[in-house]
Structure formats: structure tokens, C-alpha cells
Structure 1
Amino acid sequence: MNLYGIKTCDTCRKARKWLDAAGVSYRWHDLREEVPNEDTLRHWLDEVGVDNLVNRRSTTWRGLDDPDREQVRTAEGALPLLREHPALIKRPVIDTGQVVLVGFTDQTGTTLLELP
């Protein structure tokens, strides 16, 4: 299982703490240090869609100009911006190889424990 996020993100910290307490092993990827490649981003976009992957409440989103925001309406348009601005990715992203989950709630944890 791979967990993608940012060290200072409270939701990422919550996810890591929960996974550690549940004894779930994972590999941590800091999005600012390890920007996902295009294939990984395409996979996430295919699995969860642009609306679920792009963090439109982030400071980075608010800093984009209107043409860039318009570009993010499609997966193809979002790809270069997500590579250039990884903080636009909602966090955390959990990629189990079977499923991609974005964000973390208690329900997310339950879903992870129910996977084979």
C-alpha cells in the first residue's frame, strides 16, 4: 500500500497514525519531495476523477489564474498542473493496488481493513 501526502497535512498525520495503530504497513510518499509520475496521476484520475482528486480549497488552487483553473476541468488538462503543483492533489491518496482512496475518515480505515 502506498500513502501519498504532505508531512504537515493534519489529515495525512491522522491517516498515518491510524494505519500505524491498526498495524497496516504502507510506504509513505511526500508529494512535495516525490511528485507522482504521469502514469500514476492518470491512474488516480481514472479511478477517482478530477473532482475527487483536485483540492479546490487549497491555497495553491486560489493562486491559480482563471485559464489554469479552466484547464483542470478535464483529466488531460489537470495532468500538467498536478505535476507542476502537487499541493493541488487532495490528501492523502491511498493506493492499495486494488483501489485508490482520497482523503481519510474512519470509513476509509474500515474500507482498508475490509480489503482482501
Structure 2
Amino acid sequence: MDRTKLSLYCYSKCSTCRKAMAWLNSNQIEFQEKDIINFPPTSQLFYEWVFEQGLPLKKFINSTGDKYRELNMKERVKTMTEDEIIAMLASHGKLVKRPILTDGHFVLAGFKEEEWAQALGVL
């Protein structure tokens, strides 16, 4: 992961996002904060993460959120195509698992301190 070009897609009211930001700051890792609600990752980014990196699409779905329940996504994703799911994620930031840390290519979804430390070379 290129530490000079990091973007953090997050939601200010999300405690996990706040933990991730505090961890990045305490490890002196610079990042550009992006509001995932108003400016979710684009469909193109999701395609790159899923198809170029081979990450499972479900890794990006916030299945515990209110929007997920409100839109009845548990049932809908069973019949939706990958293209339809990606379009939903790109248009509804609250459907996206957060935070997302990316350099534009490599991506980490959800904050797991050990995973982030390994990816960012923090010992």
C-alpha cells in the first residue's frame, strides 16, 4: 500500500471509523478523510477492488447497518447481480462497510488493527 496516497472513507458518527483515525494518527500515517455518506467510493473503485484484487464483494457490504435493514438487503442481495450490488454500494454510503482505507488500488475494509498494521508496515 502506498502510504503517500491514502484515503480514508469514513462516517463521523461511526465509532470504528474514529478508532481507525486515532490509530492512523497515533502511528503518524497521513490520510485524506472522505465522507463515505456524501461521497461513497465510485462503482469503478468497487470494480477494481473486487475484480482486480479478487476481494469478495460481501466484504464491502455493511450488513449490520440501518440502511441494510431498511432496504431489505438481506433478501435482495440473493437475487441481485454483482453489477447491481456495486451500483447500490456506490449510491448509498451507509450500505458500505467502513472505514475503507485505500491508496486507490489496494484496499482495507473495516478496521482490524493487526491487518492494517501489517499492510502499512507498522510494527
Q: Is TM-score (shorter-chain normalized) higher than 0.5?
A: yes
Equivalent residue for 1:91? 98
Equivalent residue for 1:69? 77
Equivalent residue for 1:16? 21
2:33 corresponds to 1:51: no
In structure 1, distance between residues paired with 2:86 and 2:105? 22
Q: Secondary structure at the match of 1:70?
A: coil
What amino acid is aligned across from residue 65 of structure 1 in structure 2? N
**How many angstroms does 1:110 deviate by?**
1.4
**How many angstroms does 1:22 deviate by?**
0.5
Equivalent residue for 1:103? 110
Q: Compare 38-47 and 84-93 and name the one that shifted more.
A: 38-47
Q: Secondary structure at the match of 2:19?
A: helix
Report which of the two has the higher share of helix.
1
Is the contact made by 2:7 and 2:33 (CA closer than 8 Å) also made in structure 1? Answer: yes
**Count of residue pairs the alignment pairs up:** 114
Percent of pairs with identical residues = 25
**How many angstroms does 1:98 deviate by?**
5.0
Q: Which runs of 5+ in 2 are unaligned?
A: 1-5
Is the contact made by 1:45 and 1:75 (CA closer than 8 Å) also made in structure 2? Answer: no
Q: Which runs of 5+ in 1 are unaligned?
A: none
What amino acid is aligned across from residue 13 of structure 1 in structure 2? R
Equivalent residue for 1:31? 36
